[in-house]
Structure 1
Amino acid sequence: MAEMDRIAVIIEDDPDIRRLLEDVLEQGGFETHSAANGLDGIEKVRRHRPVLTTLDVSMPGIDGFETAKRIRTFSDTYLIMLTARNEEIDTLIGLESGADDYVVKPFRPRELRARVDAMLRRPRAGTGPIATPVTGDATPPADPALAPPAATAPSPTAAPAPTAAPEAQPGPDAPPSRTSTAATAPPDADDGWLEHRGLRLHPEMRLTDVDGTPVDLTRSEFDLLALIVSSRRRVRSKADLALALRGESYVTSYYVSDADKRAVEVHLANLRRKLGESAAQPRWIETVRGVGYRLTADDMT
């Protein structure tokens, strides 16, 4: 059940802030487990397998950056860093360490709750939307595609169902990569794969490869790439991309901070580095100066 997934680990050395985070998350329906240092926090993440982890940066022993890196070696928990540091370099290091979001103290509990709720609307790597419940003990939505057609042979409509499912999920809060893939994918796209100049990605399976070599992306990096590729030549502004990463749009929200825009820049820089792309001579992602980003033209010239 969805409620059973609402487990959070709080890694925070300040007892007052730790208690505040427990109250905020428990009011949101989370079961919380707290730790006062990085090593204990890593162990609790390993033991409880939380959907969400909040992480202080300045802690005794190993700091939050190192803690995040170690957590990322075995967990895809949503990771929010909380810190009094507001320098751009700290944001960059935090995101490179594997954080999904970076919130500066003092924070407003309502804003933190809103950010958590927005993240839960985004798909986890290899699973599906966390907030989407499944009935009974049924298998997750992605699994029916693996079922042999013979099991439902008497039904003439059973076989086409898996391929039709991705096109049947419109909604104002859905990331553009899920709503525009079918309309913008090239005619020769194979089984949901989007392709452009040797780059391939599958929004549903969340796989990426370049010239046949798999590329390991973080959740945010993959989401940004899927948004840009599915939008083709339409320019996506930093504010637009930041809202999409939060699972929001200008219909539901309009506030985008400078920190949110910097986070998009950092994710894009990391994405380009992993793809092996130069911002000066981009193969896939063009920077439209003063506006945002878009996919490069189809021709190689």
Structure 2
Amino acid sequence: MNSVPGVSAPADGLPADRPRAGLHALVVEDEPDLAAIVGDYLRRAGFDVTVLHDGTQAVASAQQHAPDVVVLDLGLPGLDGIEVCRQLRTFSDAYIVMLTARAAEVDMLIGLSVGADDYILKPFSPRVLIARIDAMLRRPRQADAEPEPDAPPRRVRELGPVIVDLDARQVWVGGNHVHLTRTEFDILAALIRRPGVVVTREHLMNTVWDSDWVGDTHVVDVHIGSLRRKLDDRGDDRLIETVRGVGYRIDTPTPSSAR
């Protein structure tokens, strides 16, 4: 098992069991040995695990079993990983980590833009994969859009044609609802909460991912690119301004009444 393609660390010395009661992980990888290693690590981390090798079967399984985490290879028979991710996002809010041997930024961007939360380049360490999943699980899931009867008004921000409901986690552009992935929304919210301030990539990593994150800050730039496209944020008067070599800044939002 130590020489399995795609794995950069041996599979022995698995991490100690950690409670993940009730959490289900779906592993979709067409290399059986690699899929077995990833599934083994996830089981030792406390997940119930389903391992599949075909994209079409993966979508059907996710519809039936509603996984909490999906580890998804890009190169799959049946449906490729991009199309699987696209279809999952029509009915699932699972955390999705893409595994890819494609280092080109365009491939990462496509994967993230259709709803993946993170990507890991092959070869990778299964321990790193588990650490990345742990970081995602510490982030909140989609908030309930319906407020409590006696709850205070929701926090809504207007930024030109963009309206952001921070509590309902919803966004409109020019009156049209825009679907953002969990990660894209969290990045936008982190910028809005520090209006007019340059937010470094490191701060976004610590806020949106986790202070124990083991990836690189380039993932922030990829998500920002996808976020800008969905917000139609382009030209000289951009909502999200790049501060070269540092991070990003968003103009001061204007409070609005709840929708």
TM value normalised by structure 1: 0.71
Once residues 225 and 125 of structure 1 are traced to their aligned partners in structure 2, the CA distance between those partners, rounded to angstroms, is: 14
Asked if the contact 2:190–2:208 (Cα under 8 Å) also holds between the matched residues in 1, the reply is no
Provide the rounded CA distance (Å) in 2 between the counterparts of 1:93 and 1:15: 25
Distance across 1 between alignment mates of 2:97 and 2:159: 32
Aligned match for 1:117, one of 111, 119, 134: 134
- Within a 5 Å distance, the mapping from 1:138-149 to structure 2 comes to 145-147=147-149
Using the aligned pairs only, state the percent identity: 39
Alpha-carbon separation, structure 1, partners of 2:63 and 2:191: 34
Deviations 1:103-136 (A, max 9, x none): 0122112211111011111122245xxxxxxxxx
**Shift in Å, 1:96:** 1.9
Tell me how far 1:201 sits from its aligned partner. Answer: 1.8
2:192, 2:253 within 8 Å by CA — same for their partners in 1?
no
Which letter does structure 2 place at the counterpart of 1:229? I
Q: d(CA) in 2 for partners of 1:297 and 1:192?
A: 14
Match 1:288 to one of 243, 249, 258:
243
Check whether the contact 2:112–2:226 (CA below 8 A) recurs between aligned residues: no
Largest Rg, 1 or 2: 1
Q: Which has the higher helix share?
A: 1
2:229 matched residue in structure 1: 273
Please tell me whether residue 62 in structure 1 is matched to residue 79 in structure 2.
yes
Q: Contact 1:76–1:125 at 8 Å: present in 2 too? A: yes
Task: Flag the 1:43–1:4 CA change in 2: closer, same or farther, 3 A.
Answer: farther
Any gaps of 5 or more consecutive residues in structure 1?
Answer: 128-141, 148-158, 164-189
Higher RCO (CA 8 Å, separation ≥ 6 residues):
2
In 2: Cα distance, 1:214 partner to 1:4 partner: 35
1:1-301 maps to which residues of 2 (within 5 A)? 3=20, 5-126=22-143, 145-147=147-149, 159=150, 162-163=151-152, 190-246=153-209, 248-249=210-211, 252=212, 256-257=215-216, 260-261=217-218, 263-282=219-238, 284-297=239-252
Aligned-residue Cα RMSD (Å) equals 2.3
Q: Deviations over 1:237-270 (max 9, x none)?
A: 2232233331x23xx56x552xx41x22222122
Instruction: Tell me, in whole angstroms, the C-alpha distance in 1 between the residues paired with 2:111 and 2:44.
Output: 27
- Is the alpha carbon distance of 1:23 and 1:285 closer, same or farther for their aligned partners in structure 2, counting shifts above 3 Å? same
Change (3 A) 1:298 1:240: closer
- Partners of 2:196 and 2:234 in 1: CA distance: 19
Contact residue 81 and residue 99 of structure 1 kept, 8 A = yes
SS at match of 1:73: coil
Note if contact 2:97-2:117 (Cα within 8 Å) is conserved in structure 1. yes
Contiguous gaps of at least 5 residues in structure 2: 1-18, 255-259
Q: SS of the residue aligned with 1:228? A: helix
Aligned mates of 2:134, 2:195 — CA distance in 1: 29
Could you tell which deviates more after superposition, 78-87 or 234-243? 234-243
Q: How far, CA to CA, are the matches of 1:96 and 1:122 in structure 2? A: 19
What is the letter of the counterpart of residue 223 of structure 2?
Answer: H
User: More strand by proportion, 1 or 2?
Assistant: 2
* Offset at residue 198 of structure 1 (A): 4.4
Identify the residue that residue 14 of structure 2 maps to in structure 1. none
Provide the secondary structure at the position in 2 that maps to 1:146.
coil
CA distance in 1, matches of 2:126, 2:55: 23
